[in-house]
Chains A and B, each alone.
Chain A
Amino acid sequence: MYPIVLLSVLGIVLLFLGFLKSKNILLPATLLFLALALGSNFIDWNQGPLLYFYGMFSVTNLTLAFNAIVLVSAFMIAAMTRGFQDDEEAQPAEYFAIMTFSLVGAFMMIGYEHLIMLFVGVEILSVAMYILTGSEKRNTLSNEASLKYFLMGSFATGIMIFGIALLYGATGTFTLTGIRGFVSAGPAAQSYIMYGGLLLLLIGMLFKVSAAPFHFWTPDVYDGAPSIFTTFMSTIVKTAGFAAIFRLMAHSFSGIYDFWWVTLAAITVLTLFVGNIVAVYQNSFKRMMAYSSISHAGYLLIALTALTEQTERSILFYSMAYSVATISAFGVLMLIAKEKSLDGRPNESYDAFNGLAKQNPLLAFVLTVSMLSLAGIPLTAGFWGKFFVFSSAADRGLMWMLVVAVLMSAVGIYYYFRVVIASYMKEGNTAKIRVAPFYQIVLVAATVITILFGLAPGFFEQLL
């Protein structure tokens, strides 16, 4: 609860700091606020399940851990913005404030106990994202992406609220516990309205995490948005979104698993196929990362479809591994894209990476580790993420899904390795790129985390 209150207030403070002449204070202030929020997050640590806001919001160690992942990701991303100093058009105060507010939405999605809380959380996060996607106002692609995201997103929101309404109509309650009680009361009380409501709500949520066939907005939006906000979207929105879907399915609807698992299984397989197969045909690294984010949604959905006792931990570990690797990948991309810019536009194609390793061995190494992790190669955190997810599927006996997932990971290796090959083995020259010290710390930290959890995944468990 504390980070919600803290960041709501500090976000407003950031807006006021924007009135100062010097914009240099904004970045340190944001980082400080995020660090404070991270500290306050742990006040409730080990306090057991707590309910706040009149029982609308719950706190457990696992929701706190999700919060921590979101906060750490946000911290790293904020540090990589360098205060938006390179961009004269930028409005740093507003950007940082919006980012801060959006985190509040993410926390609400992670810990909601009441469906209205979920809805408000999703909206706070989404509206913030619509704005940030269109923040590069002189770029038509960015505008297009923003509009597309907004239109499709509002549509999904409509479906979602429709689902919530139906659920309320069927069960007479908005709380997860109340719905759980209704579901476990047995089939006599259940009606088609409840099933319909669940499916509509699920569709709305799956849209937000870009699962196929609700993914069509993803490539354009990820591609069009400024890279720094693409990073934000692909890590924080995804983590919060999956935490939210998990809560819904595990806390309220585990009683009717037999009803929804087929739907979710079909969506999972479709997502894995679309994400991985289409990613192979991309020529832009950034667009590939968009499809890769779809494919990772697929892997996370496997854990949801299986829904075992380990699912929440699997999702937690996977989100962590995925977020860290994505942040470092985009971190390197932003540097290269700027260095190799064509006609003033960042160059985000694979070719931009050619010969990167010669002058910039550190960047090439960071990129390689993040690609290995995303591809799920052992000794990286990504491998254990996949491993835990696959284990939950095996535990549930979904061996066929496991085989599909494994085949798709093999496809994944192909497109992730293209950029590694480009940076180490293709001819090309990239001048030595000067990396700001703070930026470098973020990249190195992300790499260290990836390798550390790759070597000792048990360490993560001990933290919980």
Chain B
Amino acid sequence: MFTLLLILIPVLTGILTLSFGGRNARLLALLGAVAELAVALVVWMQFDPVGGQQFGFKYDWIKSAGVTLGASIDGISMLLVLLTTFLTPLIVLSTFGHEYRNAPTFYSLILFMEAALVGVFTATDAFLFYLFFEAALIPVYFLSALWGGENRLKVTFKFFIYTIFGSLFMLVAFVYLYFQTPGTHTSEIAAFYNLQLDPAVQGWVFWGLFIAFAIKMPIFPFHTWQPDTYTESPTPATMLLAGIMLKMGVYGLIRLLLPIAPMALEDWGAVAIVLSVIGIVYGSIIAIKQRDMKRLVAYSSFAHVGLMSAGVFSTTLNGLQGALIQMLAHGINVVGMFFIVEIIFSRTRTRNLDQLGGITKNTPQLTVYFMILLLGSVALPLTNAFVGEFLLLAGVYQYNGWLGAVAGLTIILGAVYMLRLFQRSMFGPRTEVAEHFADLSLSERAVLIPLVAMVFWIGIYPSTFLSLTEPTVSQLLRFING
């Protein structure tokens, strides 16, 4: 029943914020998000990694059709629920330095988004999964389209149509799978696992699901909506998109694509993994050439997610475990990076690297936090992304040595664009805009300290999280290979 609670808390607090928020909307929203985090922590405390699906609920939804309203938590879900509930309060907190017009709507949309995300990560029924998958899109679309930058209308419209277009293919696949289930049909994901489909059919199902998730993540060449949307959206929406929503795609690959169409991987897995590796190199090279800080981080996110999907498609324990821990690490790093970009932008009114420089002189604190998050992003040992990237690269290498070598470029290229970002903005001669740059405020530190703490926690002692997912992932791999 905890799962139901986890889905309902943000919905209810969201409605409260919308109705009675007024001037205190952000406090109410923060309270809701913190309550959600508290429940998630309680669930984590009681969670048994080898216990399979836990804390679930299941009701009939359309009784005669066998469609259920069910959700529960296993190792993979637990990790992503923790990520979502950990980041959302920080995202709410990160807006405290900024007055958003029509605040009750703004904050309630963030909470609705959280509910939908938790729903995606816990749903045990395919149609419910689809429903949450789409429902997550609507709040973030409005967040971006209403509070975004100049070109927001065009950009978010493209984003909206592009992603819905993709998920419709997933719906077709689900409807097909649903009619393959024996008896009076059921749409539970677990029933889809046992279908024993014909390999040719699995190929079709593979592509139906792959396009949906590839657009969401995004994987090359389905990424064209992403840099613009990340750049034009208001920073909290960008954080939600890059920090959490992108993980819906990776989660979908692990939860649905691999176990439902395992035989298709032999035919098409190579295509998927090559596309992912192209994305890594392509994204990194473009990131090096960027002047706009937000755009640079957007492309870096595109490159990182390529590595995650490559790891998933390697279908090795290392690859999958790496993808999971990297989802956590990337969520933390990218939210931190976007927040720092926002801090710099709010003080200098520019994100252009040519106009920035010399900020570090007045801001020892910002420099330190920025540096730690940055080193986390470039996967320095003892930081969070190192664990993930190491496992991912090991997984890809196991799949194919050459691909592993090309994917390994991510570490070098990542260091290039990230250090360039740091150097051009923080060091160098002090520019006009950095003249009166104030150091971090209390609320800003309140966001950055937990993030930095997590960078070290995952970097130094990743077993906390690896052991959480390991039993579920091993079981999944046994299922796929057996």
The residues of A with any CB-CB pair to B shorter than 8 Å are: 372, 377-379, 387, 390-391, 394-395, 399, 402-403, 406-407, 409-410, 413-414, 417, 421, 424-426, 456-458, 461
Contacts and interface: CB of A to CB of B under 8 A. Distances in A.
Contacts of A394: 172, 175-176, 178-179
A390 B172 contact: yes
Contacts of A414: 161
B175 A413 contact: no
B138 interface: yes
A341 B60 CA distance: 49
Contact of B172 (A403, A417, A456): A403
B268 interface: no
B63 interface: yes
B62 A458 contact: yes
Contacts of A402: 172, 175-176
Contacts of A377: 134, 138, 164
Contact of B165 (A387, A410, A421, A458): A410
Contact of A413 (B64, B127, B160, B169): B160
Nearest to B142: A424
B168 to A, nearest CB: 4
Nearest to A424: B146
B135 interface: yes
Q: Which 3 A-B pairs have CB atoms at the shortest separation, nearest pair first?
A: A410-B165, A458-B62, A406-B168
B34 interface: no
5 contacts: A379-B131, A406-B171, A407-B168, A425-B145, A457-B61
Given A394-B175, A406-B169, A417 B160 contact: yes
B145 A399 contact: no
Residue from B60, B64, B135, B175 having most chain A Cβ neighbours under 10 A: B175
Interface in B165-200: 165, 168-169, 171-172, 175-176, 178-179
Contacts of A425: 145-146, 152-153
Contacts of B165: 407, 410, 413
Contacts of B142: 424
Nearest to A393: B175
A180 B360 CA distance: 86
B134 A458 contact: no
A413 B164 contact: yes
A413 B142 CA distance: 15
Nearest to B62: A458
A378 B60 contact: no
B175 A391 contact: yes
Contacts of B131: 378-379
A458 B61 contact: yes
B64 A461 contact: yes
A421 B179 contact: no
Nearest to A454: B131
Interface string B66-80: 010000000000000
Given A399-B172, A413-B165, 11 more contacts: A377-B134, A379-B135, A394-B179, A413-B160, A413-B164, A414-B161, A421-B153, A424-B145, A425-B153, A458-B67, A461-B64
B461 interface: no
B287 to A, nearest CB: 30
A155 B121 CA distance: 57
A426 B157 CA distance: 13
B130 interface: yes
Which of B62, B134, B157, B160 has the most chain A CB atoms inside 10 A of its CB? B62
B143 to A, nearest CB: 12
What interface size band does chain B fall in? 20 to 34
Contacts of B157: 417, 421
Contacts of B153: 421, 425-426
Contacts of B176: 394, 399, 402
A409 B168 contact: yes
Most buried by B among A391, A426, A456: A391
Nearest to A406: B168
B421 to A, nearest CB: 31
A372 B160 CA distance: 13
Given A378-B134, A425-B153, A458-B60, A390 B171 contact: yes
Contacts of A424: 142, 145-146
Nearest to B204: A399
Contacts of B65: 391
B145 A410 contact: no
Nearest to A457: B62
A134 to B, nearest CB: 39
Interface in B245-301: none
A410 B134 CA distance: 13
A378 B130 contact: yes
Contacts of A417: 157, 160-161
Contact of A421 (B67, B127, B145, B171): B145
A451 to B, nearest CB: 12
Contacts of A456: 61
Contacts of B161: 410, 413-414, 417
Contact of A391 (B63, B135, B138, B178): B178
A379 B131 CA distance: 7
A347 to B, nearest CB: 22
Contacts of A391: 65, 175, 178-179
B273 to A, nearest CB: 26
B172 A406 contact: yes
A461 B62 CA distance: 8
Nearest to A459: B62
Contacts of B145: 421, 424-425
A391 B172 CA distance: 9
A461 B63 contact: yes
B168 A410 contact: yes
Contacts of A390: 171-172, 175
A378 B164 CA distance: 11
Contacts of B64: 458, 461
Nearest to B169: A406
Interface string B98-133: 000000000000000000000000000001001100
Contacts of B138: 372, 377
Interface centre among B63, B142, B169, B179 (most CB of A within 10 A): B179
B171 A458 contact: no
Nearest to A408: B168
B139 to A, nearest CB: 12
Interface string B133-163: 0110010001001100000110001001100
B71 to A, nearest CB: 15
A336 B179 CA distance: 45
A131 to B, nearest CB: 41
B438 to A, nearest CB: 33
Nearest to B180: A394
B152 to A, nearest CB: 8
A413 B159 CA distance: 12
A223 B66 CA distance: 43
A410 B164 contact: yes
Nearest to B60: A458
A273 to B, nearest CB: 16
A218 B165 CA distance: 28
B179 A395 contact: yes
A455 to B, nearest CB: 9
A390 B179 CA distance: 11
Contacts of B130: 378
Nearest to A372: B138
A155 B179 CA distance: 42
A426 B146 CA distance: 10
A458 B414 CA distance: 51
Contacts of B134: 377-379
A200 to B, nearest CB: 34
